């Protein structure tokens, strides 16, 4: 396993529970996309500690997200390594991010084993959660002047208004850039 769950979170804007539910059949390597269509829900130990798949948070959360070529290559490498490891253990699973017994990875384990060490190595606060990767994806896209509608679709938000309300902290720099672009167009 490596830091791949974290890379997929930040590269797709998927919620942690959605990323944990991605199956290999959801990835279209020819079209360079992943279809987000379910999430994983973990029951508490009092409830038996098991897990189940459930529908995404909202209807608009079901979405097809384009993937960058380097991420696809990482996923191909991960699939080969995963197939070998699980085959040796006699386990079959269609989950992209599976534990050694073929079940979905638990968020706290991903955080403790991969995310927190990556934060330490980068000199960042360990108080950040996996959800911060979703926020980072949206913020980076908005700062790159990607249309808010596209960002909302990537995140699976039901409206652009929700996206802009959550990420309004990005707006001041966007307004400054918009003013600079207008100045160039109007005044040369």
Cα(185)–Cα(188) distance, rounded to whole angstroms? Answer: 6
CATH of the domain at 150: 1.10.443.10
Q: Specify the number of domains making up the chain.
A: 1
What's the confidence (pLDDT) of residue 1? 42
The first and second tokens of residue 66, run together, are 């384009």
- Please report which residue ranges of 24-106 form alpha helices under DSSP H: 69-89
What's the confidence (pLDDT) of residue 34? 96
Identify any residues that bridge with 65 across adjacent strands, giving them in sequence order: 34
What's the confidence (pLDDT) of residue 156? 93
Per-residue pLDDT tens listing for the chain (188 residues):
444 556 666 789 999 999 999 999 999 999 999 999 999 998 877 887 789 899 988 888 999 999 999 999 999 999 999 999 888 888 889 999 998 889 998 888 889 998 999 899 999 999 999 888 898 899 889 888 899 999 999 999 988 998 888 887 776 777 788 888 889 999 98
- Domain around 119: 4-187
- Report helix, strand and coil shares of the chain as percent, to nearest 5: 55, 10, 30
pTM: 0.82
What's the confidence (pLDDT) of residue 9? 61
């Amino acid at each position: 396993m490596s830091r791949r769950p974290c890379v997929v979170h930040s590269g797709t804007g998927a919620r942690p529970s959605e990323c944990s539910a991605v199956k290999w059949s959801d990835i279209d390597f020819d079209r360079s996309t992943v279809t987000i269509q379910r999430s994983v829900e973990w029951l508490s130990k009092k409830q038996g500690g098991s897990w189940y798949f459930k529908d995404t948070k909202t209807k608009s959360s079901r979405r097809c997200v384009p993937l960058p070529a380097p991420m696809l290559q990482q996923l191909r490498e991960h699939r080969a390594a995963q197939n070998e490891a699980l085959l040796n253990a006699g386990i079959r699973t269609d989950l992209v991010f599976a534990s050694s017994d073929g079940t979905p990875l638990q968020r706290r384990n991903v955080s403790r084993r991969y995310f927190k060490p990556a934060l330490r190595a980068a000199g960042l606060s360990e108080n950040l959660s996996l959800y911060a990767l979703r926020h980072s994806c949206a913020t980076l896209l908005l700062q790159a002047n990607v249309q808010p509608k596209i960002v909302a679709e990537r995140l699976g938000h039901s409206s652009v208004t929700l996206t802009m309300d959550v990420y309004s902290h990005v707006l001041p720099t966007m307004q400054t850039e918009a003013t600079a672009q207008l100045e160039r167009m109007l005044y040369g």
